[in-house]
Each structure stands twice: as structure tokens, then as C-alpha cells.
Amino acid sequence: MKRCGNGVSNLGKRTPTNCVVVALGRGSLYDTFGDKHALYLTALDQYCVSNAERLETFRQQSGPIQEVLQNLFQGYIDALLADPARRGCFLVNAGIELAPFDDAVSQRVQAAHKSTEEMFYYLLIKAQMAGELAWTYDAHQPARFLLGTLISIRVLVRAHAERSVLEDIVKTTLLVFH
């Protein structure tokens, strides 16, 4: 299942191809998941769990906020660009392609976005407590800005943006926190 969630947003659309990916026969897929939609949701859930685990590692990092954010964004850029097909992020693809029409997908995407926003919020509060950032604003606002930046990077990778463009976005984002 883990491989299915690695940027493949059309999992529920091509059963024969997907059977090869997970090494199961069509009958086994339906016996296990019931239908393609259930399989898709299971893959999306697994991807969300994996993504949450990755975000937790960044949440636990110590050091200046610029360094932690740089590591986070660079890690995503490196991972996304490692895919020669530039399929992008499964979660973002699900949000763009299916969430407007599928409440179950929309709920999962929104929950994952909220989780990511909360991770950024935590990092910002930690930086405020360390005296790196002023307490003059609500940390939810820049947390949402960082979420938007991360989503944008994921979309731009799929659109075949160059590494330099993505890194310029990160550099500009980090200027906000000087």
C-alpha cells in the first residue's frame, strides 16, 4: 500500500495498472477493499499517516526557525524532484482533482492541511518563546502562509518548475522570519 500513495492520485481510475503496483489480482483488491473508491481512500489515509510522521520529525527539530523551515522545505523539494515523472504530492493532487467532488477525500485533505498548519504553528510558537520572533502577531497567520508555500511548492513540482524556482520561493519565504 505504501507505494500506492507515493504521488499516484489516479489510483481509483486504473485498476489493472494498480494491481501490478500492489501485486494483487483484481479480485483480491475488491475482496480486500470492496471497491476502487475504498482502495483510493485507504491509500490516501496511508499517505496522510506517512506525511504526518514526516512532519513530526520536523516538529521535533531544534534550532533557529529559519534553519528548521529551510530543512523542511528543502526536504520536500528533494523528495518531490527525485520522482522523474514529477507526479507531485498525492495529497495535493487529491485536493485539486477529487476533493471538490468527493466529500470523503475533501475531509481527509482538509484534516491533513490542518495538521500541517498546526505543525507550523507549533514551530512558530517555539520560535517566539525562544525570542527569535516577536509576539506582535497571531502565529496562525504565518502558519497558514507556510502551509500555502508548501502546497505551492508541491503544485509547482508537478508543473515541472525548475529547482532554482522552488529554492527562490523558499528563500523569499524565509525572509518573512528575519
Is the pLDDT reported for residue 9 higher than 60? no
Range 67-105 burial, b when 16+ CB lie within 10 A, else e: ebbbebbeebbeebeeeeeebbbbbbbbbbebbeebeeb
Domain map (residue ranges) of the chain: 47-175
User: What are the pLDDT digits (tens) for 77-123?
Assistant: 999 999 999 998 999 999 999 999 999 999 999 999 999 999 999 99
Encode pLDDT of 64-84 as tens digits. Answer: 999 999 999 999 999 999 999
pTM above 0.75, yes or no: yes
Of 146, 161, 3, 4, the residue nearest 81 (C-alpha): 161
Q: What is the CATH number of domain 47-175?
A: 1.10.357.10
What pLDDT sits at residue 12?
Answer: 41
Look at 8-17, 36-45, 162-171 and tell me which has the smallest mean pLDDT. 8-17
d(CA 175, CA 178) in angstroms, rounded, equals 6
